[in-house]
Chains A and B, each alone.
Chain A
Amino acid sequence: MTEPATAPIEALKDKVPEQPPRSQWRDVWDQLTKHKGAMFGMGFLLFITLAVLIGPYIWQVDPQKLDIRNKDMRPIYTALWDSDAKVRWANPLGSDQLGRDNLAQMIAGGRASMAVGWAAMILSLLIGTAIGVLAGFFKRLDGPLMRLTDLFLSLPILPLLLVAVTLFRQPLRAAFGPEGGMFILIVTVVGITSWMPTARIVRGDVLAIKEREFVLAARSIGTTSFKIIRRHLLPNVLSPIMVSAALGLATAIITESALSFLGVGFPSDFPTWGKMLADAVPRMERFPERVMLPGIAISLTVLSVNYLGDGLRDALDPRIRGR
């Protein structure tokens, strides 16, 4: 009382953190950069995405332009071992049986494939997460929603798409044009037939998390269900959602390629990777590059997305992170 409080006792003083605080996302990023496969995957995905976005401005050749005089050109590198090969610099990756430039087609085809992949992935993610959370959190909805998931799992995508094309092609085409309408149709069908794994994984995680003490605590202070889902459940199931997002992108690209390969979907002169692959099959022996180029592009994209998903799973799991 007599003396003013001077400096507190040294021994009782709290230690100030020596390093600035780190956010969770920073940890995730650090972990991710340690995963070589994920870094390769991310790099390639970035490259492909930039290539299809900026590519048409650099390589300004119309992918649908026919040039019958310069048909069946080989890629320029063929000249290295075969000096008689038909090559020219105007078609660095060669041209197809009607003289369309392969490089321009690859870029345009990649645009379509990537756009379908991303859009369908986001759609299936939204549906899958919503259904998974609802089924996991509300006991009464669990049975019906999971049976619905089983039902969708048993839907064969190809017949479904054929029916959808028959029923909805005309109105969608009238509203959004032939290519826009088909895009919406394919994205929707791929989206609504690929959300089921996400829903099941999310439901399982939600079931486990909602029994934890912090959820009970939140409920005891009167937090509404919606807020519990938003503040406590969703951040905790983010890791499986991100992983299934990555896998979903890969599935969507493959499904789109398969549909184009079968000749269902986009108009026949609208290039996509799957369409290029399908067109090249009869001449596979003489022009292997026409199968290899889109085939490798599809495989590498899907592979890189899978590696990225693998890395994300490791990085997002706090129990694995830092090891």
Chain B
Amino acid sequence: MKLKTLMLGAAAGIALAPAAFAERGSDGEVKIIYWQAPSILNPFLSGGTKDVESSSMIIEPLARFNEKGELVPWLVDEIPTVGNGGVSEDLTSITWKISEGLLWSDGTPFTSADVKFTYEYCTHPEGGCAQLTKFNGVASVDTPDDLTVVVNFEGPTPNPYGPFVGGESPIIQAAQFANCLGAAASTCTEQNFNPIGTGPFTVTEFKPNDVITMAANPNYRDPAKPAFATVTFKGGGDATAAGRAVMETGEFDYAWNLQLAPDVIAAMAEGGKGTPIAGFGPLLERIMMNQTNPSPDLPEGERSTAMHPHPFLKEPAVYKAMSMAIDRPLLVEVGYGQAGKVGCSWVPAPEAFASTFEGCEVQDIDGANALLDEAGFLDTDGDGVREVNGVPMSILYQTSTNAVRQDFQALIKEWWSLIGIETELRNIDASVFFGGDPGSPDTFQKFYADVEMYANTFNGTDPQSYLGNGLCDKAPRPETQWQGENISRFCMPEFDALHAELTKTADMAERQRIGRELSAMMVDNGGMIPLVHRGRLSAHANSLGGVVLNVWDSELWNVADWYRID
């Protein structure tokens, strides 16, 4: 009986749902809150996530990544590949076929000239385009006809889906921005605040750093969408307030990026007005292991550089034991809840690039102790701390100031004390720690500590440049003004050689195999200890349907499909 009622309910739900978004503008208003306020609606002039995502409701790229990280055609009919002839055999050009009948929100047709103009706009030498890296290696953009765009690269490019793909590389209207090239770009206030687009909404009013009001685009390609007639996009406040506004008070329908502890989120969710949703990209919380000696006895300029290797962190028994002593499921439970998974691989996503490690999710204190005993690193002076070649295993563990991270520090310190490693904790204000000031001794790049904890990720689905963070010459050092992405100063010729191979490999399966191998190399050789695979956490009102959280592209990528559940 109960099952029958449930089935009936589900059937009714399915029957009703399409009706709810059958007509454009039938569902009234949707309210979105971002606790960082957008300041411009032109992502080419701002790298900020808030600006990229808010503008993604208005202007669109040729293709996007969906929630699984797969490319989906957006303003084109299909994704060009070598197989369908869209990408040339020598990987030097890609040909996009624009869908027929696309209109800008002002009613004029969308053509290949607009795409070419976008390229010229961003690559203008005086423009200062924030998304210039998207056009790296592009030699020219040709337009054989109104609906065909050919992007020519300077050399073979195994991954040609950089330009005009994803929320950071949308197409702007040539007619509107014609006078905004180069140095004039930032003076075009009207264009930057009210871009004409192909997206489901158009700007009604934009108040920088405050609120955007939008209305449904009358010329949107799908006549039944969007279901909402207007959008109020509010910016500002903090994550706690945004979470409360959606889940406890129901003032807003969607809140972005709620970086809060799981029990705090759960307490908000009890409000019953909204639901938290988590999506998993490649964001990984990890402990970086300093391969060099950070001892303050060393002179400035030699400290934490390749001149002095670390006295004991490069010993396989030491880093393996330190990793074995960690109870990752407990860390997930304490710090991230449903927004975290046990993290074992440097590249935790996409799935195909994630390497697997046996037994990484099981804590093994006895095994770790046995490993250290076997290696001969014993506590010879009876103070509870093991010695390696006469050096006591006493380490400084630093991270940024954040409630969850300090909880992690306390737990990990306790576990390491069980295997005879003494830990001193230190937390640094996030703006200093991630500030990158070469004059400060407290930045994560300078790494004046034995181990440090933070999270890192990459955009899109191809980890090639991210894996480059393990290259020997990317290590921060005085000569590079302490800039560089190889934080742990990992250095292995085999790694460098394998990465060089990756940059030349076009076959996807082979790329994935090399990627997994590189990731495993880093972890197996003690460059880092992966802890938690973190998700992106947002919340939507229970009355808002159609939300699909996307971590590979703008979170608002499918806002056209959102509808009101009555």
Contact = CB atoms under 8 A, between A and B. Distances in A.
Interface of A: 64, 66, 68, 97-98, 100, 162, 166, 170, 174, 178, 263-264, 267-269, 279, 282-283, 285-286
B424 interface: yes
A274 B484 CA distance: 37
Contact of B267 (A66, A268, A286): A286
Given A97-B263, A170-B296, A283-B267, 16 more contacts: A64-B410, A68-B330, A68-B411, A97-B261, A178-B426, A267-B425, A267-B427, A268-B410, A268-B426, A269-B406, A269-B409, A282-B260, A282-B264, A283-B261, A283-B264, A285-B267
Given A282-B260, A283-B264, A264 B414 contact: no
A147 B143 CA distance: 73
B403 interface: yes
A282 B244 CA distance: 13
Contacts of B296: 170, 174
Nearest to A179: B424
Interface of B: 240, 260-261, 263-264, 267, 296, 330, 334, 401, 403, 406-407, 409-411, 413-414, 424-427, 429, 432, 440-442
Contacts of A283: 261, 263-264, 267
16 contacts: A97-B261, A97-B407, A166-B442, A174-B296, A178-B424, A178-B426, A263-B401, A263-B427, A263-B429, A268-B409, A269-B410, A269-B425, A282-B260, A282-B264, A283-B264, A283-B267
With most chain B CB atoms within 10 A of its CB, the pick from A166, A170, A174 is A166
Contact of A268 (B427, B440, B441): B427
Given A98-B411, A282-B403, A283-B263, A264 B334 contact: no
Given A68-B330, A68-B334, A263-B429, A279 B403 contact: yes
Nearest to A170: B296
B71 to A, nearest CB: 39
- For the complex of A and B, 4 pairs with smallest distance between CB atoms: A263-B401, A268-B406, A267-B425, A268-B427
B424 A66 contact: no
Given A66-B414, A269-B413, A283-B264, A166 B401 contact: no
Nearest to B297: A174
With most chain B CB atoms within 10 A of its CB, the pick from A68, A166, A268, A269 is A268
Contacts of B442: 166
B332 to A, nearest CB: 13
Contacts of B334: 68, 97-98
Contacts of A64: 410
Contacts of B406: 268-269, 279
A97 B261 CA distance: 11
Nearest to B330: A68
The interface residues of chain B, by DSSP majority, are classed as: helix
A242 to B, nearest CB: 38
A87 to B, nearest CB: 18
Contacts of B403: 279, 282
Nearest to B402: A263
Contacts of B240: 282
Contacts of B409: 268-269
B429 A264 contact: yes
A283 B407 CA distance: 14
A283 B263 CA distance: 8
With most chain B CB atoms within 10 A of its CB, the pick from A66, A68, A174, A269 is A269
A66 B410 contact: yes
A66 B425 CA distance: 15
Contacts of A162: 429, 432
A285 B330 CA distance: 24
A51 B217 CA distance: 69
A264 B427 CA distance: 8
A97 B424 CA distance: 21
A264 B429 CA distance: 8
Contacts of A68: 330, 334, 411
A178 B423 CA distance: 11
B264 A267 contact: no
With most chain B CB atoms within 10 A of its CB, the pick from A64, A97, A162, A174 is A97
A66 B411 contact: yes
Contacts of A264: 429
Nearest to A173: B296
Contacts of B432: 162
Given A97-B407, A98-B411, A166 B441 contact: yes
Given A66-B410, A282-B403, A267 B424 contact: yes
Contacts of B411: 66, 68, 98
Contacts of B441: 166, 170
A258 B427 CA distance: 16
Nearest to A263: B401
Nearest to A286: B267
Contacts of A66: 410-411, 414
Contacts of B440: 166
Contacts of B261: 97, 282-283
A282 B240 CA distance: 9
A274 to B, nearest CB: 14
Nearest to B335: A97
A290 B334 CA distance: 18
A162 B410 CA distance: 23
Nearest to B266: A286
Nearest to B263: A283
A269 B260 CA distance: 20
Nearest to A287: B263
A163 to B, nearest CB: 11
A178 B395 CA distance: 12
A66 B331 CA distance: 13
A268 B411 CA distance: 12
B416 to A, nearest CB: 12
Contacts of A269: 406, 409-410, 413, 425
Contacts of A178: 424, 426
A286 B268 CA distance: 11
A311 B260 CA distance: 47
A68 B424 CA distance: 20
Contacts of B410: 64, 66, 98, 100, 268-269
A178 B426 CA distance: 9
A268 B425 contact: yes
Contacts of A170: 296, 441
